[in-house]
Amino acid sequence: MMKQRDMRGGRLLIIFAAAILLGNALAGDRGLTATVRARHDRAALTAEIDSLRAGNARLRARAQALKNDPATIEAVARREFGLLRRDEKVVIAR
């Protein structure tokens, strides 16, 4: 009778320890939940990095055009500063 009681206690202890280990595997700092969250965060950050790299490439191309492309320089000068060519006149319609 005492042996059965000891076995039941041992089984309960094993079940309890297994439940603790399973809970830790699922919800612990390095468990399944944290792994899934980390994968999601990594995918989001990778997408953000790709977007930022594309934006940087566009800005580099724009900066290069502003340095070297006369048509771009002229378009910006006209639009932002209202500059005209020497042979142009401003006509104001009323």
Q: How many CB atoms are located within 10 Å of the residue 8 CB?
A: 10
Q: Can you give the pLDDT at residue 12?
A: 85
Structural domain boundaries in the chain: 2-60
Predicted pLDDT at 2? 58
Q: What is the pLDDT of residue 61?
A: 98
pLDDT of residue 19: 87
**Amino acid at site 22:** L
What pLDDT does 50 receive?
98
pTM, two decimal places: 0.58
CA–CA dist 68, 56 (Å, integer) = 18
Run of H or E residues at 74: helix 70-81
> pLDDT tens string for the chain (94 positions)?
556 666 777 888 888 888 888 888 777 777 788 889 999 999 999 999 999 999 999 999 999 999 999 999 999 998 999 888 888 888 889 8
Could you give the C-alpha distances from 35 to 22, 23, 24, 88, in angstroms and in order? Answer: 15, 14, 13, 66
Cα 36 from chain centre: 16
